[in-house]
Amino acid sequence: SYGQNNIKLTDTQTDITINKHIYGHFAEHLGRCIYDGFYVGEANDSIAHTAGVRNDVVDALKKLQIPNLRWPGGCFADTYHWKDGIGSKEGRPSIVNSWWGGVTEDNSFGTHDFLNMCELLETEPYLAGNVGSGEVQELADWVQYVNFAGKSPMSDLRRENGREEPWNVKFWGVGNEAWGCGGNMTAEYYSDIYRKYATFMADWDNSGGLYRIASGANSADYHWTETLMKNIPNHLMKGVALHHYAVINWNKKGSSTKFSDEEYFKTMKSAWFMNELVEKHSAIMDKYDPQAKVDLVVDEWGGWYEVEPETNPGFLYQQNTMRDAMIAGMTLNIFNNHAKRVKMANLAQTINVLQAVILTNGKDMIVTPTYHVMEMYKVHQDAQLIPIELHSDTYKYGEEEIPAISASASKDKQGRVHISVVNIDPKAKKKVSLDLGGIKAKHLTGRILTTNNLREHNTFEQPNTVLPKEYKDAKLKDNQLEIDIPAHSVIVLELI
Ligand code: AHR
């Protein structure tokens, strides 16, 4: 009676952990992400802040338990000279942000500002180094400045600028999109450049060494991953990146709120493509690294639409609807299920840019449907993966179809089992039967994120239109669960 939608929890004893770093975020010097987003300046007396960083933003992100934050880009990273952003703020040079709107950047938010902010957020920084327009020495110096405890030219400079202890930053990107804005390099050329830069980024801290991440493939560029895996030795590369955005058509991306049914389908199809991408890039990695020593790091993902009317096209400011909640729920399920190889990911971008979790407007701040999905899914962070078998109805549009249901499951350190289920079908509610296998649960609770209208979103006037609610449409009998999941909904169940 439960149609074709079945989920079976299989092995509850795997040794695969869903790395919390899959739930990472990304903050670039782009539009209103840093300035007017995170950072309003030390002199601001109308918005509550700590060293210029908005307190409401810090509180909201701490509720998500964001595990890491990537900075300063993106494309900006390969134009960024970190020495411009240290020392007295009055003395810092102004530069032009050539990728994003051609605006003047006064460098008032630099290395100290970012790394201290990460301490406030209780999150791990992920610094993206400049390979495109920087020098080897410059990046080597940055690592020394940030991570060296002893006496050296760079650590002395850090102390002069007010910071005694090193920050011991583990995650370092060696350039960004080297195939594009990072220098339009070939995979072969970048592999050599990577080896050189990575060699001089020294392991100053004694906490297990730097986690160097190679700039990865653009979506389905499998040659890129293959070349990096073939040409870069494991000891120099802990992670290889991948970027993929859910986009309808790069030349006609469509509105973030006023989208047609066809545009919705195309967005879902592009988001679902992540499953194939992760599997195919992983298969290449398996070939060169069968012991899985190198991680797949999806350090840019999310929905990308036209900017909101009357906003700067270079600022990438877009609204965020239940469509984005669908992208987030589905994509995080994909990452969880591939947690053996995918160890880290970064949603693009945290505030006011692309698929943001937070939007700000002067003093006001709201959270988006994507925020709520991240908050509901945080239970999977560092939990043990429970692999599933899934049979789903299809969601069809014209001649094309993709699965309507996606899901993932995990067991946390207290033994609680969490199952996240997403129904992307915009019209049809689904019945799903869930076989819990060997799990004997006594108590079931759940939360749901859904709306009557798929295009619903939160606004500054109505910030709570999209909000998670208690979910009660599940029946538990023995080790079998039957759930009703409305159209375009995300559910997270907890079994004790
Ligand atoms: O996230 C916006 C941009 O998208 C990043 O700067 C770049 O890496 C990617 O092309």
pLDDT digits (tens, 9 = 90+) for 268-311: 999 999 999 999 999 999 999 999 999 999 999 999 999 999 99
Which residue has its alpha carbon closest to ligand 1 atom 4?
74
pLDDT band of residue 433 (cuts 50, 70, 90) is very high
Please say if the pLDDT value at position 329 is more than 70.
yes
Which residue has its alpha carbon closest to ligand 1 atom 6?
74
**If you measure from the C-alpha of residue 494 to the centroid of ligand 1, how many angstroms do you get, rounded to a whole number?**
36
The burial class, CB within 10 Å (0-12 / 13-18 / 19+), for 476 is: middle
Which residue has its alpha carbon closest to ligand 1 atom 9?
74
Give the residue numbers marked as catalytic: 177, 300
Among 70, 75, 176, say which to mutate for ligand 1: greatest number of ligand atoms within 8 Å of CB: 75
Amino acid at 338: H
**If you measure from the C-alpha of residue 470 to the centroid of ligand 1, how many angstroms do you get, rounded to a whole number?**
36
The whole-chain average pLDDT of the chain stands at 96
What pLDDT is attached to residue 477?
87
pLDDT tens string 240-258: 999 999 999 999 999 999 9
Pairing of β 480-485 and β 430-435: antiparallel
Please say if the pLDDT value at position 13 is more than 90.
no
What pLDDT is attached to residue 12?
80
For range 215-224, the mean pLDDT: 98
Residues with CB under 6 A from ligand 1: 28, 73-75, 176-177, 300, 348-349, 354
What pLDDT is attached to residue 331?
99
Q: Which structural domains are found in the chain, ordered by start? A: 20-381 (3.20.20.80), 387-495 (2.60.40.1180)
466 contacts 414 by C-beta, under 8 angstroms = no
Which residues, at least 6 apart from 415, have a Cβ–Cβ distance to it below 8 Å? 496
Stated pTM of the model:
0.97
Among 300, 346, 347, say which to mutate for ligand 1: greatest number of ligand atoms within 8 Å of CB: 300
- Alpha carbon of 315 to those of 31, 311, 350, 376, 484: distances in Å? 4, 7, 13, 28, 40
Please say if the pLDDT value at position 332 is more than 60.
yes
Please say if the pLDDT value at position 2 is more than 60.
no
**If you measure from the C-alpha of residue 268 to the centroid of ligand 1, how many angstroms do you get, rounded to a whole number?**
20
What pLDDT is attached to residue 1?
34
Amino acid at 160: E
Which residues, at least 6 apart from 60, have a Cβ–Cβ distance to it below 8 Å? 357, 358, 365, 367, 371
Q: Please provide the size of the chain in residues.
A: 496
Q: Is the bond preceding residue 175 a cis peptide, omega within 30 degrees?
A: no
CA-closest candidate to residue 372, choices 415, 325, 431, 434? 325
Helix orientation angle between 222-231 and 261-288, rounded to the nearest 10 degrees:
20
Ligand 1 atom at minimum distance from 180 CA: 10
pLDDT tens string 340-359: 999 999 999 999 999 999 99
- Alpha carbon of 90 to those of 86, 93, 107, 220: distances in Å? 10, 8, 10, 45
DSSP string, 420-471: EEEE--SS--EEEEEE-TT---S-EEEEEE--SSTT-B--SSSTTSS--EE-
Which residue has its alpha carbon closest to ligand 1 atom 3?
74
Q: What's the ipTM?
A: 0.99
Pairing of β 211-218 and β 171-174: parallel
129 contacts 142 by C-beta, under 8 angstroms = yes
Please say if the pLDDT value at position 207 is more than 70.
no
